[in-house]
Amino acid sequence: MSMPTPLRVLHEGRWFPAEEVAKGAAYELFADERLPGFLPNPRPGARHRFRRFVHATDVLAATGIEVHHPAEQPLRMPVSRSLDWAGLHRLSQQPAAASELLAAIRSSAAVRRGTRMMKVLSPRQLLACLHGWLPSGFCYREYDVAHLRTPADLGVLRGDGADPGDVVFALRWRAVDARDYTVPSADTHPGLVDMPPRDRIGPPIIGSGFAPADRHLIPEFVTADLADLPLTANASLLAYTADGTEVTLYTYLAEQHTWTRMWGPQWRDLLAGVTGNFPGDQEYFPVPPGITRFVGTYRGRLYDAIADPPDDFRLAAKVRAARYPVESVARRTVYAHWRGVRCTVVRNEAGWLRVRPCHPDAEAIEQLGAQCVERGVYEAWAPAAEVVDAREVDVEYPLDLGHSAGP
């Protein structure tokens, strides 16, 4: 039986040995000499001394073993003599660009059920995730950032604008439905685009739907109403090192509401800067129940649910025999008004509510006395007695009910 032919890809006029990254969203190229853009290969005993990560759309051809076709749709740009890729990048970096062509190109990057999403984290946010912080605000499709593997490349996506240093962290989860995400444009979030520098942290929101970046074209998303999203099963907390290595630090066990440690002692130094007393040897981090959660119906009754997209939606139960498929599923989020501003409620503590404006602008954050906690996200503590019209809102997700719900 013949051995499969190793994968080789054509990039910038030259063929390289390669491996797929993120299910075909990017490629890891190998070389025996240090070429432009290549870094030392950190793998012990590696056949090739140097490597580089490139996006799948930058590869002109691939041969060898069966190549995966990414499930996500790339940006689509019409052929034009007047607008090349460099011109498109320049247009994407213009404040609140109103080009119909740019909007059409941006709309070609869409979220579907099962899309792997990513949010780049600061060390403080990594620790907050382990203690119950949920994804919200600005995020990205893994497909669009799979080739960004070093802190220098990923640091631009951090929400605090700080120097990423030698390691950058990220949260990865899978989308349940496209309605949980919107494009941060001048039309959908004018208040964020016009926010004065004194009232924001991190890079400005351009309003074109693309992240501010000097080399890359990265479509941005924000969670709908800037609300929290419940964690999906098997979400991951990751670290990226200066040599481009991806390390899975923790994996989320949805039935146990727990983050479980995946990293070994060789990666201990990655977490040295998280906090002075970070419990690095702790195997499990129990996550307290969140205000925002998945709920589902089974035989006409409502229960907490677990989402494991694209196909698995079930009752939240530690016993495997009780994990029946739900008949319907929704994201339950608490909305309220405080001082005339519509907000989501993200925490409830001893008569105080932590509220987050759904569409912040300079007037709203001044009225609430809200603070910018990360790029585009503002929060304030409100006395529960002053908050009005608080109610739970269920965002229903359509399900394929072709399966049997339970025994």
Question: What three-state secondary structure class fits 29?
Answer: strand
Ramachandran region, residue 406 (left: φ > 0; alpha: ψ -120 to 50; beta: rest): left
The predicted model scores a pTM of 0.93
Q: What 8-state DSSP symbol labels residue 225? A: G
| Residue numbers of the chain with a pLDDT score lower than 50 | 1, 401-407
pLDDT in the model for residue 276: 64
Q: Are 88 and 146 in contact (CB under 8 A)?
A: no
Residue 202 burial class via C-beta count within 10 angstroms: exposed 0-12, middle 13-18, buried 19 and up: buried
Q: Are 168 and 74 in contact (CB under 8 A)?
A: no
Q: Are 382 and 353 in contact (CB under 8 A)?
A: yes
Ramachandran region, residue 373 (left: φ > 0; alpha: ψ -120 to 50; beta: rest): alpha
Q: In the sheet that 61-63 helps form, which strands lie side by side, from edge to edge? A: 39-40, 50-55, 26-31, 14-21, 8-11, 61-63
Residue 181 burial class via C-beta count within 10 angstroms: exposed 0-12, middle 13-18, buried 19 and up: buried
Q: Each residue of 256-266: b (16+ CB within 10 Å) or e? A: ebbbebebeee
Our measurement of the distance from residue 98's CA atom to the centroid of its chain's CA atoms, rounded to an integer in Å, reads 26
- Residue 372 sits at the vertex; the CA angle it makes with 368 and 376, to the nearest 5 degrees, is 105
Q: How far apart are CA 75 and CA 57, in angstroms?
A: 9
Q: How many CB atoms lie within 10 A of CB 281?
A: 8
| Residue range 314-342, pLDDT digits in tens | 999 988 888 999 999 999 999 999 999 99
pLDDT in the model for residue 1: 45
| Residue range 110-134, pLDDT digits in tens | 999 999 999 999 999 999 999 999 9
Q: How many CB atoms lie within 10 A of CB 88?
A: 19
Question: What three-state secondary structure class fits 203?
Answer: coil
Q: Are 106 and 183 in contact (CB under 8 A)?
A: yes
Pairing outcome for strands 371-374 and 377-383: antiparallel
Q: How far apart are the first and last CA of the chain?
A: 45
Q: How many CB atoms lie within 10 A of CB 254?
A: 20
pLDDT in the model for residue 404: 36
Q: Radius of gyration (Cα) for the chain, nearest Å?
A: 22
Q: Each residue of 25-55: b (16+ CB within 10 Å) or e? A: bbbbbbbeeeeeebeebeeeeeeeebbbbbb
Question: What three-state secondary structure class fits 193?
Answer: helix
pLDDT in the model for residue 121: 95
Residue 124 burial class via C-beta count within 10 angstroms: exposed 0-12, middle 13-18, buried 19 and up: middle
The one-letter amino acid at 289: P
Question: What three-state secondary structure class fits 226?
Answer: helix
Q: How far apart are CA 248 and CA 137, in angstroms?
A: 22
pLDDT in the model for residue 318: 84
Structure tokens at 350: 């001893």
Q: How far apart are CA 185 and CA 95, in angstroms?
A: 10
Question: What three-state secondary structure class fits 308?
Answer: strand
Question: 284 has which bridge partners?
Answer: 260
